[in-house]
Chains A and B, each alone.
Chain A
């Protein structure tokens, strides 16, 4: 099967408007004859569900939390990018496009990224109109900050709670449509499979998380906005419930999974304290605007710090290595995430890590406090400092923070074309669950932008084209595919409940996480990945023999929910490893030790790897088939990224 990304021809700046003009429209009177299923009501799904309902479609929306307001988007802290150029500092749609392509290490599509930059400006207008309280300047106009190594100030923010405010905006738009009866909202409902009828997505299978009832829902199209799969690593900054199940089930029904190994490891998170740890907490990237990252220069100093014989604030200036400032004089502490993370790991590997575990470096605000005063620092970062204190019981105003990288975001996801359609007609993927716009590394403040771009400004146009093509004929729910897919879901649940083994789901998840972090984390090698593949497949086999899930299906059963999700992670993990093995180059978050520049930076291999890897599932325990979508760079010249 050939992969057609359907990127419109023509100059970059005209692609999207021309494309919109060429898309078929659904007659307004006919819109109400179409049912659209939206799974996930985070920024991507919530924005899509509301916008499609406004247009007149009948929407059924689903989320597994008790309210759409709790989607993981709520946790985003730092901000959202948009090429408004309100600061008159030289920003433009083209610059945002260029930064994003470069930041993604040239592994994203030009056409998609340009469109993202283009609609970014509309997102801000939309959110403000909804009443989202973005930060403002004294003159009453919107404030911006520079974020994640960007040299212009294009990030809009709402204190350290941007995701919350954006999501509550989308939630309010969704609520309005629920109130009008155009969206039927199913909360505490988990999608467990996609129903494919004659090659087209026509419905889903769900489990009611309160009663356990397994149901089918039909629609003319199915949209997934189900978020990222960072929790395959067990520990990540994602919410506990974030999972890959919806995307993975779609994959097993034929949707290609693209670039699964592209994961983002965020440099500034609170380090792990012990085995009991259930998640990791991000300390926003914005802290690197004023905080300085360092490690002790010598192993001896590090040793003393680890044993508590020396306090960080007492380490002499000469004994500190501000390694990012030293190695990257022009970007300093603001290098992109992948670069900052790898360098922190190097310090720890060099035995210069700090904290009791030795797995951390410092993020120091002493200079900023001296320069700006404690109050000014508190005004900017107070809520983050409080959060840090809550978790560690240490005061970041007097001692530097201890930070270490943690899994944060997944650039990989379901393969989609320019219309956000997977290769299964009628099945769409939006937001973090698709692979589309961030290449091998996402820039800070770009995920919120992409989720809302997909939901508010792309899918409302592109979906219409498909719906107009298939026509409003009602979906035949008597088609055997509905009953069959439902039965397969029931069988799978019964199987999990019947195993009654001796190891808990969490225990398997933790083991998987260790393998992924060790071999498919910040640095990857042929040898390590090969080993990981064996370990994961053994762990998966053991899971299906030995896992214990107590309770029944017909009740609230979080252990059962989790078992299904971990079973899917155990399959995804292996595909990530396969993808990482195949990609014998370093790019963005994917660092193959075999492929480095003499200075130890990531070395891309554009001749052999300038493609999107789209994987096709064949059958359980069979190798997946690789399809390559070659990336054409017509407008941007490929260079090695340099932040020196």
Chain B
């Protein structure tokens, strides 16, 4: 079914589940077309494995157009592969050459345990968002949208932070497995907007506390996260969050999170 002429060797991390130890296994990917996406190349390999009665390589994916954040893969030492500003599902085989050996690993971080082969558990990201990544507004209890004018530059900047897809590449790229870029993107988006002001100080504290609890590492400003982020989220978000975090700690200690004790 494949229709190209590239032949590649894949060294793929296989791990049955979170409890067992994993190891690399080697596969041939043959007859690969340069027009295939990286995941389509894996589909071809998997079809072959299934026909032999072997278990296909497990990896996460869904939209295959760079927006859902489901795909991951650490390819030849880079989250989402060698090219900048794209996700694995947007990577095409024309970025590799015939005969190449490609090493494919899962995200590696204590807070992202492997669940099978190349798929990891990123529910820690959800829990951080649940801790405070929202504006507390109930459905229907709102004013007319244009009663909240927002200068275009601010709206645009908030948008830049809001484009994070929650894939976890920043954590995978960081030698400390820090989640600061991910957390700060949400904190900044809401801190820049008027809607986010009332909970600004409690939000940053709650989200950072949850981040620490999940076991993510500290930020030492190496910048690998920004370099590898498929959506080019900037480290200025981290500075903004740090500022807010210290302001909240120093001056607004009294502002405990509204939901700390349930409703």
Given A75-B67, A126-B142, A276-B36, decide whether A67 and B134 contact each other with a Cβ distance below 8 A. Answer: no
A198 at the interface (CB under 8 A from B): no
B135 x A241 contact (CB < 8 A): no
A125 x B129 contact (CB < 8 A): no
B82 at the interface (CB under 8 A from A): no
A75 x B133 contact (CB < 8 A): no
B56 x A74 contact (CB < 8 A): no
Residue of B nearest to A119 (CB): B140
A175 x B126 contact (CB < 8 A): yes
Residues of A within 8 A of B254 (CB): none
Per the 8 Å Cβ criterion, residues 51-76 of B in contact with A are 51, 53-56, 58, 60-70
B136 x A176 contact (CB < 8 A): yes
| Interchain CA distance A281-B35 in the complex, whole Å | 14
Residue of A nearest to B36 (CB): A276
B145 x A67 contact (CB < 8 A): no
B33 x A66 contact (CB < 8 A): no
| Interchain CA distance A176-B139 in the complex, whole Å | 12
Residues of B within 8 A of A185 (CB): 126
| Interchain CA distance A507-B138 in the complex, whole Å | 47
Residues of B within 8 A of A161 (CB): 67, 163
Given A133-B158, A556-B119, decide whether A74 and B137 contact each other with a Cβ distance below 8 A. Answer: no
B2 x A171 contact (CB < 8 A): no
Residues of A within 8 A of B193 (CB): 131, 133
A34-73: CB near B (< 8 Å → 1, else 0) gives 0000000000000100110010000000000111111010
Nearest CB on B from A233, distance (A): 15
Nearest CB on B from A260, distance (A): 24
Nearest CB on A from B7, distance (A): 15
A126 x B139 contact (CB < 8 A): yes
Per the 8 Å Cβ criterion, residues 541-568 of A in contact with B are 548, 550-551, 555-556, 558-559
Nearest CB on A from B261, distance (A): 11
Residues of B within 8 A of A241 (CB): 62
Given A137-B152, A179-B259, A390-B90, decide whether A550 and B56 contact each other with a Cβ distance below 8 A. Answer: yes
| Interchain CA distance A187-B65 in the complex, whole Å | 21
Residues of A within 8 A of B138 (CB): 51, 54
| Segment among A105-113, A138-146, A323-331 that sits at the interface with chain B | A138-146
Residue of A nearest to B193 (CB): A131
B62 x A65 contact (CB < 8 A): yes
B90 x A74 contact (CB < 8 A): no
| Interface size range on A against B | 35 or more
Residues of A within 8 A of B3 (CB): 274-276
Per the 8 Å Cβ criterion, residues 385-407 of A in contact with B are 387, 390-391, 393
| Interchain CA distance A158-B69 in the complex, whole Å | 18
B129 x A273 contact (CB < 8 A): no
A128, A187, A502, A555 pick with most chain B CB within 10 angstroms:
A128
Residue of B nearest to A506 (CB): B47
B147-178: CB near A (< 8 Å → 1, else 0) gives 01111100110110011011000000000000
Given A75-B67, A551-B55, decide whether A141 and B36 contact each other with a Cβ distance below 8 A. Answer: no
A414 at the interface (CB under 8 A from B): no
A133 x B159 contact (CB < 8 A): yes
A66 x B70 contact (CB < 8 A): yes
Given A129-B137, A275-B1, A276-B1, decide whether A172 and B129 contact each other with a Cβ distance below 8 A. Answer: yes
A168 at the interface (CB under 8 A from B): yes
B43 at the interface (CB under 8 A from A): yes
Residues of B within 8 A of A175 (CB): 126, 129-130, 133-134
| Interchain CA distance A559-B51 in the complex, whole Å | 12
B62 x A131 contact (CB < 8 A): no
Nearest CB on A from B259, distance (A): 6
A145-185: CB near B (< 8 Å → 1, else 0) gives 00000000000001101011100100111011011110001
| Interchain CA distance A504-B146 in the complex, whole Å | 53
Given A172-B135, A176-B134, A393-B94, decide whether A140 and B126 contact each other with a Cβ distance below 8 A. Answer: no
Residues of B within 8 A of A171 (CB): 129
B62 x A164 contact (CB < 8 A): no
A172 x B145 contact (CB < 8 A): no
Residues of A within 8 A of B189 (CB): 131, 133
B122 x A66 contact (CB < 8 A): yes
Given A126-B139, A175-B129, A210-B115, decide whether A559 and B69 contact each other with a Cβ distance below 8 A. Answer: no
Given A135-B155, A276-B40, decide whether A168 and B162 contact each other with a Cβ distance below 8 A. Answer: yes
B152 x A136 contact (CB < 8 A): yes
Residues of A within 8 A of B247 (CB): none
A70 x B68 contact (CB < 8 A): yes
Residues of A within 8 A of B1 (CB): 275-276
Q: Which residue of the partner chain, among B126, B148, B262, contacts A67 with CB atoms under 8 Å?
A: B126
B190 x A131 contact (CB < 8 A): yes
B36 x A133 contact (CB < 8 A): no
A240 x B152 contact (CB < 8 A): no
A276 x B56 contact (CB < 8 A): no
B159 x A158 contact (CB < 8 A): yes
A460 x B139 contact (CB < 8 A): yes
A418 at the interface (CB under 8 A from B): no
A278 x B155 contact (CB < 8 A): no
| Interchain CA distance A456-B156 in the complex, whole Å | 26
Residue of A nearest to B151 (CB): A140
B240 at the interface (CB under 8 A from A): no
| Interchain CA distance A507-B44 in the complex, whole Å | 11
| Interchain CA distance A131-B163 in the complex, whole Å | 13
B155 x A67 contact (CB < 8 A): no
Q: Which residue of the partner chain, among A51, A65, A276, contacts B139 with CB atoms under 8 Å?
A: A51
B166 x A138 contact (CB < 8 A): no
Residues of B within 8 A of A68 (CB): 126
B37 x A559 contact (CB < 8 A): no
B135 x A140 contact (CB < 8 A): no
| Interchain CA distance A502-B36 in the complex, whole Å | 25
Residue of A nearest to B48 (CB): A504
Pairs A–B under 8 Å by Cβ, sample size 15? A51-B138, A54-B138, A67-B123, A70-B63, A129-B135, A129-B148, A130-B137, A133-B158, A140-B155, A172-B133, A176-B134, A241-B62, A276-B40, A391-B37, A393-B92
List 7 tightest A-B contacts by C-beta distance, closest first: A140-B149, A172-B134, A133-B159, A128-B145, A51-B139, A129-B142, A125-B142
**What is the interface of chain B, defined by CB distance below 8 A to chain A?**
1-4, 16-17, 33, 35-37, 39-40, 43-44, 47, 49-51, 53-56, 58, 60-70, 86, 90, 92, 94, 115-116, 119, 121-123, 125-126, 129-146, 148-152, 155-156, 158-159, 162-163, 165-166, 189-190, 193, 195-196, 259, 262-263
Known pairs A140-B152, A391-B37, A555-B116. 4 more at Cβ < 8 A?
A65-B70, A70-B63, A125-B145, A173-B134
